Amino acid sequence: MKVYQSNEIKNISLLGSSGSGKTTLVEAMLYESGIIKRRGTVAAQNTVSDYFPVEKEYGYSVFSTIAQTEWLGKKLNFIDCPGSDDFIGGVVTSLNVTDTALILLNIQYGIEVGTNNHFRYTEKFNKPVIFVANHLDQEKADFERTILQLKENYGNKVVQIQYPLSTGPQFNAIVDVLKMKLYQWKPEGGVPEILDIPDSEIEKAQNLHNILVEAAAEHDEELMEKFFDQGSLDEEEMRRGISKGMVHRDMFPVFCVCAGKDMAIRRLMEFVGNVVPSVNKTEKPQTKDGKEVEADSKGPTSIYVFKTSVEPHIGEVSFFKVMSGKLKEGDDLVNIDRSSKERISQIFAVAGQIRNKVDEIEAGDIGATVKLKDTRTGNTLNVKGCEYDFKEIKYPEPKYRRAIKAKSESDEEKMNEVLTRMHEEDPTCIIELSKELKQTILYGQGEFHLRTLRWRLEHNDKIEIEFKEPKIPYRETITKNARADYRHKKQSGGSGQFGEVHMIIEPFYEGMPAPDIFRFNGQEFKISNRDTQTIDLDWGGKLVFINSIVGGSIDARFLPAILKGIMERMEQGPLTGSYARDVRVIVYDGKMHPVDSNEISFRLAGRNAFSAAFKAAGPKLLEPIYDVTVQAPSDRLGDVMSDLQGRRAIIMGMESEKGFEKLSAKVPLKELGSYSTSLSSLTGGRASFSMKFASYELVPVDIQEKLLKEYEESKKEEE
């Protein structure tokens, strides 16, 4: 493979719902460009991408795959992304390092929820889009309906470049209104016969051609003047106008392919090579400090590692984009994020599981290397003296969680090591060793996501695991003032233990006034604020500790011990053992002994006084509430709303968005454990949702009583 310059390199994300045919399209493109000699199929499990065992097991893409081809003097770097929303991390990663998106459409189903999800990400990253209608040879294929849906969803920016003469099993020809030619294929596909457009199609083709010419002219003043003067543009001028329109997301061209029969693939690749913007014509990436970096081969060498994979018989493979300069085999680079040195021992051009060794690659290009010692996904590697540090990729919040445990205790450490490695490969897989819940929690994007991780653990790494419903991270707080005192006294020969603490506790909120006077059972307690400590708790909320000791009843040196005792009880709340929060504690009196008082005595006295006061202060449980946004088809909206209301959801709003209904709700985390599975079942897999932590709110009384009872029973069992 020759060394390509930045103006010859095109980086493209392949997006689309599951079943839209991305993997099959990659196979056809690699075949047509001579990278492979025979096209594989997903059914036969012999494709160049989807080569991991778990992908063969499920018949779906789980990982994004780089597929590089050479076509008409250009290097086309495609990244084939998983279609399932459970593996959205591959889409997010890809759009961070590519410049254009091809969104495949299964025209048996038209616009699917995955189409909208992926399109929203192209909006977020401001990437040009080409829509590619696939599966034209299927019985249920409906091209006209798909075009209508595209225009309804994305407006008149959708412009046809091609349309099929017919769809269904007899499909074998398209009309190209840019070239104004008919492309026709024999049953084996491949190289088409290029013919004149039949008379029966001339009027339709000319109308679409005129729309295309006008759309192309809109984005260039010179072209617009020529269009007004002459009424037309030549093919090269149209390419230029289309390219500009795409860069500004003012034009979304529509192409046709039949990837399974290798029809219209060469024409699509020709358009990509000629019209899709090259890396030097697109938005420049920014470093963390906001500096724009041009894809200049004469600049300092800097590469960004965007993906890590552990592959059979190879080990760890690092995929990178050359952000600046040129990378050569044997280069010594500095990892700017980890302050470590790396030598690039080998460089590969990648096409799925095919790796071709190369000596160097230029700015804007994508490659792979192996055996980096201390480099992780998201790290920047620079030549000495270069300080570029590119932004880490931000991934969506997890939507599904399970407690995970190795069936054999001897496998626990190995399991955690493997999960850490899986996180490197897929950053949307998150592992948490929860001290609070006393569980290992695995977070992901959905049930299928975690199921594939389980399959890999059990089949690749031979670790038998079990999933459990994770505990809910409740919080405990109080709703009224309370007073308590506690004397710790222990005598067992020699020095004893003695400490007595009197305290008042009250609910804390930001901006509340300083305490003054409290009354309990007709007795008045006046507060003298000698010192205040405000502690931001690691688990959220605050503890405010006020020293109101007068007359030296407790020596100041024992106050830290009292605070420590209170913190111990805050970490294991009196109600259910959950973290406590938002409490103000006033220590106003106590007693000490000249010999027997020590730190442990006051720590125990403080802890027990706090526990007694807490239980008398109208204690309440708080539960985590999440903001949930659901996108569902209109015909399933009623079912989705009913299901949410059954989960104690509060519906916050509803609006229509591009053919789908968008629901916003606040839902307790306890009710979201199996939501991704239920939503998929309710909507036939046509809906998606996102969730993000919002706040802690009071648990309803009946549920609190049930939780308290369960906790008491569990404590008895432990005893």
Residues 409 and 531 in one domain: no
Sequence-separated (6 or more) residues with CB below 8 Å from residue 668: 623, 624, 625, 626, 647, 648, 697
Residues 637 and 608 in one domain: no
Count of domains forming the chain: 5
Residues 272 and 146 in one domain: yes
Kindly tell me the burial class for residue 123, based on how many C-beta atoms sit within 10 Å of its own C-beta (0-12, 13-18, 19 or more): exposed
Residues 551 and 492 in one domain: yes
- Cα(518)–Cα(510) distance, rounded to whole angstroms? 20
Q: Are 347 and 357 in contact, with CB atoms under 8 Å apart?
A: yes
For residue 124, is it within any domain?
yes
The per-residue b/e assignment along 549-567, b for 16 or more CB within 10 angstroms, e otherwise, is: beeeebeeebbebbbebbb
Specify the residue for token string 């205040």. Answer: 532
For residue 178, is it within any domain?
yes
Q: Which of 43, 254, 280, 250 is nearest to 126 (CA)?
A: 250
- Amino acid identity, residue 571? E
For residue 424, is it within any domain?
yes
Partners of residue 13 on adjacent β-strands? 79, 101
Question: Which spans in 355-430 are helix H?
Answer: 412-425
Q: Kindly report the CA angle at 280 between 279 and 283, in degrees rounded to 5? A: 75
For 564, list phi and psi in degrees, rounded to 5. Answer: -60, -40
The CATH number linked to 341 is 2.40.30.10
User: 171: domain range?
Assistant: 8-201+251-281
For residue 431, is it within any domain?
yes
The CATH number linked to 659 is 3.30.70.240
Would you list the DSSP string of 438-490?
TEEEEEESSHHHHHHHHHHHHHTS---EEEEPPPP--EEE-SS-EEEEEEEEE
| Among 577, 597, 618, residue at a domain's last position | 618
| Among 471, 496, 521, residue at a domain's last position | 471
Q: Where are the beta strands (DSSP E) in 35-177?
A: 65-71, 74-80, 100-106, 129-134, 158-160, 162-164, 173-176
Q: Are 540 and 571 in contact, with CB atoms under 8 Å apart?
A: no
Residues 141 and 269 in one domain: yes
Residues 688 and 592 in one domain: no
Sequence-separated (6 or more) residues with CB below 8 Å from residue 520: 481, 483
- Cα(49)–Cα(46) distance, rounded to whole angstroms? 9
Residues 124 and 269 in one domain: yes
Residues 160 and 262 in one domain: yes
For residue 191, is it within any domain?
yes
Mark the ranges of the chain whose per-residue pLDDT is less than 70: 1, 493-494, 658-659, 717-719
Count, residues in the chain: 719
Q: What is the DSSP letter of 397?
A: P
**SS3 at position 554:** coil
pLDDT of residue 672: 94
For residue 117, is it within any domain?
yes
Tokens representing 448? 């299928």
Residues 602 and 667 in one domain: no
The CATH number linked to 98 is 3.40.50.300
For residue 710, is it within any domain?
no
- Amino acid identity, residue 313? H
Residues 43 and 147 in one domain: yes
The CATH number linked to 506 is 3.30.230.10
For residue 708, is it within any domain?
no
Would you list the DSSP string of 173-220?
EEEETTTTEEEE--TT-SSPEEEPPPHHHHHHHHHHHHHHHHHHHTT-
Q: Are 167 and 137 in contact, with CB atoms under 8 Å apart?
A: yes
For 382, list phi and psi in degrees, rounded to 5. Answer: -125, 155
Residues 167 and 91 in one domain: yes
- Cα(527)–Cα(89) distance, rounded to whole angstroms? 55
- Cα(23)–Cα(40) distance, rounded to whole angstroms? 10
- Cα(507)–Cα(690) distance, rounded to whole angstroms? 33
**SS3 at position 665:** strand
Residues 456 and 569 in one domain: no
